[in-house]
A and B are shown apart, each in its own frame.
Chain A
Amino acid sequence: MAGELPFEQPLAELQAKIEELRKFSAEKGIDFSEEIARLEERHARLQEELYRNLTAPQKMQIARHQQRPTTLDYIGMIFDDFIELHGDRLFGDDPAVVGGVARLDGMPVTVVGHQKGKDTKDNILRNFGMPHPEGFRKALRLMRQADKFRRPIISFIDTPGAYPGNAAEERGQSEAIARNLAEMAGFRVPIVCVVIGEGGSGGALALGVGNRVLMLENAIYSVISPNGAASILWKDASLADRAAEVMKITAEDMLQLGVVEEVIPETRGGAHRDPAYQAGLIKEALLRHLRELSALSEEQLVEDRYRKFRKIGVFSFADPDNGT
């Protein structure tokens, strides 16, 4: 088992002990099968306990796992004939966002998504999946193309957030995000979004205005990173775990709050343990939702998306004549 997270250490240690005992048994020809069986049983029990009730901070670690499948990984496993397209036609080509046309079970679609790196070097190229305005504008250009040619849009969300930098500000980070939100709301084609890892703030939402928003079991979605929230709320970024708990960032929370329509289960331990299996589950969900949405007319698709977001929010009423 590679790439264990800190909370998975006890499991990894137990696994190592079992391996060692097996090796020792084979080498020396001593029968340890009873001990091994006992340890394996303990391992299974521990595994069951550990993954059954993952806490929000633990899920956050899985969502950010270095080996977690990225947008391009899923595109390769889910779609055929993917043609990557580049550039926003205004400033440049942002490697933190990828997109293009492809076939999903034969059907032409447009796919866009945030792209994180697979290692440090790749992450520097991809800016850790944090787009500049040109990234959002590239995605918008491709989605407009989809709207023109009546292709469904699939988006994969996986970003810590929009990049906070001076160049991003100069080129209108706010406008780029705002424009995507408004334009996505108006497209006449089905839009299905999948939060595959980190859904970080406005940078995530800028690809997230869909008729259906799906979320992987261990993915997270939040208005600000738990680290950021902790440093603002309690002036202490080390309280990120506590912030992750109180902020309600898990897929289950999103389902309860009406933000996502479906939680796609993950392989035990996380999507990185079996990317191909995970891709299969995502594909099945995409096809199912697109099939349902294909029954709607263009006007109905726009109205359906409007209603989805229009109803999100919880507020209350005071007596208007009674002061505050």
Chain B
Amino acid sequence: MSIKDIFQKKRRYATITSEKAKRDIPGGLMTKCPKCGTILVTKELEKNQKVCMSCGYHFRLGALERIQYTMDEGRLLEYDAGMISADPLDFPGYKEKLARSAEASGLKEAIVTGEGTIGGYPAVVGVISFDFFQGTLGSAVGEKIARAVEKAMEKRWPLIIFSTSGGARMQESILSLMQMAKTSAAIKKFDAQGGLFISVISDPTYGGVSASFAMLGDYVIAEPGAAFGFAGRIVIEQTIRQKLPDFFQTAEFNLKHGQLDRVVHRKDLRPFLIKLLGMHAAPAERGAAHGR
């Protein structure tokens, strides 16, 4: 089956609008910043793209919020909206945990993929949502990413993936591990074609995601304070038997050690992406879409 067939069979795209995204954000008039403890007015916090007005802490975003803050008019034409995880290994408790994740996040799977424009520039976009099963890399997530990459290849559009993940999805065991190879191979193919891939890392990103597509961007950027690494801090502390400093595995730590291109504040993220996409646009489009 070719890629084309897949998309011709399923043309039932759902458009995620900002209205729907807003509805999905759980209520509560006030929100406490987990970092500095300041009590914030939720509405104001949302207006500030969920960055603490007091200390600059970047709250974790659900996929729909990210889409709302990033895409033009907060719109994304969704791909593979109905794709969900199976339970191929009949793993104890997996189905129940999937159901709980769906309920908690309002999503069907840990990633939303689709296409839209950013500052007028078209792009294929994937957004992982930590609130669904900690954004873990199951078969469905891997498949949605591989299909999104193939879509970007077909359209010759840039690809942007927003990552946040606890890593592999243990309940799918080896199949989860193999999604690392599958997504990385797809990115490699896209790379060979000359495709542009921007990887945006947000808090937290670990294991199977950090050690595959998330680190394979032509540009790899992270939000301030985002925890990011291969092995979890606790695992490392147990291995080396000493306490690690707070700075360890933050975006800033990774920047210092040469693992990232830039740390970009959330309020600057959309303008940053527009600027970067503009640099890669065909000459005729350069500047034309800019500032829209």
Q: Which of B86-94, B267-275, B284-292 faces chain A?
A: B86-94
B71, CB-defined interface residue at 8 Å: no
B126, CB-defined interface residue at 8 Å: no
B215, CB-defined interface residue at 8 Å: yes
- Which residues 170-219 of B sit at the A interface, judged by CB distance below 8 A? 170, 172-182, 184-189, 191-192, 207-208, 210-216
- Which residues 193-247 of A sit at the B interface, judged by CB distance below 8 A? 201-202, 205-206, 208-209, 221-224, 228-229, 232-233, 246-247
Q: Are B185 and A305 in contact (CB under 8 A)?
A: yes
Question: Known interface pairs A170-B257, A181-B184. Does A257 touch B175 (Cβ–Cβ under 8 Å)?
Answer: yes
Q: Are A202 and B257 in contact (CB under 8 A)?
A: no
A183, CB-defined interface residue at 8 Å: yes
In Å, the complex CA distance between A319 and B230 comes to 35
Q: Are A181 and B212 in contact (CB under 8 A)?
A: yes
Q: Are A319 and B188 in contact (CB under 8 A)?
A: no
Q: Which of A145-153, A161-169, A282-290 faces chain B?
A: A161-169
Q: Are B187 and A182 in contact (CB under 8 A)?
A: yes
A185, CB-defined interface residue at 8 Å: yes
Which residue of the partner chain, among B83, B89, B236, B249, contacts A248 with CB atoms under 8 Å?
Answer: B89
In Å, the complex CA distance between A315 and B244 comes to 38
- Residues of chain A contacted by B72 (CB below 8 angstroms): none
- Residues of chain A contacted by B178 (CB below 8 angstroms): 205, 259, 309, 312-313
- Which residues 229-273 of B sit at the A interface, judged by CB distance below 8 A? 229-232, 235-236, 239-240, 244, 248-249, 257-259
- Residues of chain A contacted by B102 (CB below 8 angstroms): 324
How far does the Cβ of B178 sit from chain A's closest Cβ, in whole Å?
4
- Residues of chain A contacted by B211 (CB below 8 angstroms): 162, 173-175, 177-178, 181, 202, 206
Q: Are B216 and A179 in contact (CB under 8 A)?
A: yes
Q: Which of B30-38, B50-58, B139-147, B154-162 faces chain A?
A: B139-147
B120, CB-defined interface residue at 8 Å: no
Nearest A residue (CB) for B98: A324
A53, CB-defined interface residue at 8 Å: no
In Å, the complex CA distance between A179 and B172 comes to 23
Which residue of the partner chain, among B189, B208, B244, contacts A306 with CB atoms under 8 Å?
Answer: B189
How far does the Cβ of A253 sit from chain B's closest Cβ, in whole Å?
7
In Å, the complex CA distance between A209 and B170 comes to 20
Which residue of the partner chain, among B139, B170, B210, contacts A313 with CB atoms under 8 Å?
Answer: B139
A9, CB-defined interface residue at 8 Å: no
Q: Are A316 and B182 in contact (CB under 8 A)?
A: no
Which residue of the partner chain, among A168, A169, A247, A312, contacts B248 with CB atoms under 8 Å?
Answer: A169
B148, CB-defined interface residue at 8 Å: no
Give 8 A-B pairs besides A169-B248, A172-B215, A310-B182 with Cβ atoms closer than 8 angstroms. Answer: A164-B235, A165-B231, A168-B230, A182-B216, A247-B89, A259-B178, A313-B175, A313-B182
Residue ranges of A at the interface with B (Cβ–Cβ < 8 Å): 162-166, 168-175, 177-179, 181-183, 185-186, 201-202, 205-206, 208-209, 221-224, 228-229, 232-233, 246-249, 253-254, 257, 259, 305-306, 309-310, 312-321, 324
Residue ranges of B at the interface with A (Cβ–Cβ < 8 Å): 12, 14, 81-86, 88-89, 91-92, 102-103, 106-108, 138-140, 142-143, 146, 168, 170, 172-182, 184-189, 191-192, 207-208, 210-216, 228-232, 235-236, 239-240, 244, 248-249, 257-259
